Amino acid sequence: MKRYEDLKERVENFLDSGKPSAQITKVALALIFVAGVLTITAMAPNVFQVFGRRYKKVGKYEKRQFQKNMFYLKKKGFVEVIKESDDKTTVRITRKGQQKLIEYSIDEMEIKKPEKWDRKWRMVIFDVPNKYKTARDALRKKLKEMGFYQLQKSVWVYPYPCFDEILFIGKFFNAERFIELLTVEEMINDDKLLRCFRLQS
């Protein structure tokens, strides 16, 4: 349940963001997930206009663009499309679609930087067995993409709160039990870190 709520919050933030990079496939899948069950009828008010007033990303597209994209999502097995009558169609996200949405959420993930640094270092340590090499490599790649500093082979450092994001990624890769998260208030040799993140001691 907690994982579902975390995903829903991230999906809603994604839909409400002003980032222009989103593909309609991501937006459509996110919209279906948030709606739970999406019912499209010929006579009812345009559901996409309703959501468009709430979420910035949805408002960029027209109803026909979403409907066209449904064929792709259905073909990939991400949604289930049920035609109940000539003028009524119901769309539900599948388990495979939810998994894909988690991938999208991780791709779009960014760590919010507070206005002022609290002078604490966040340390991510992981020791993932070779059996889970794919998860280990993916985790390392994502940490690098998000701007973490690699202090040692499996030790990464970041100056801002990020544990929720790391745990979310760890759960997705089924590597949460191999990850240790530390908050360090003092580090003797942090000159490189300060320069890397452009912070003052």
pLDDT value of position 168: 86
Identical fold for domains 2-108 and 121-196, yes or no, is no
Closest CA to 124 of 88, 90, 150: 150
pLDDT along the chain (201 residues), means of 10: 65 64 70 70 50 58 71 86 74 86 82 92 94 88 93 94 90 88 93 93 72
121-196 under CATH 3.40.50.620, yes or no: no
pLDDT value of position 77: 92
pTM across the whole model: 0.71
Domain ranges of the chain: 2-108, 121-196
pLDDT value of position 119: 94
CB 98 within 8 A of CB 136: no
In angstroms, rounded to a whole number, what is the distance separating the alpha carbons of residues 53 and 76?
29
pLDDT value of position 114: 92
2-108 under CATH 1.10.10, yes or no: yes
In sequence order, which residues have a C-beta less than 8 Å from that of residue 19 and are 6 or more positions away?
A: 108
The DSSP H or E segment spanning 71 is: helix 63-75
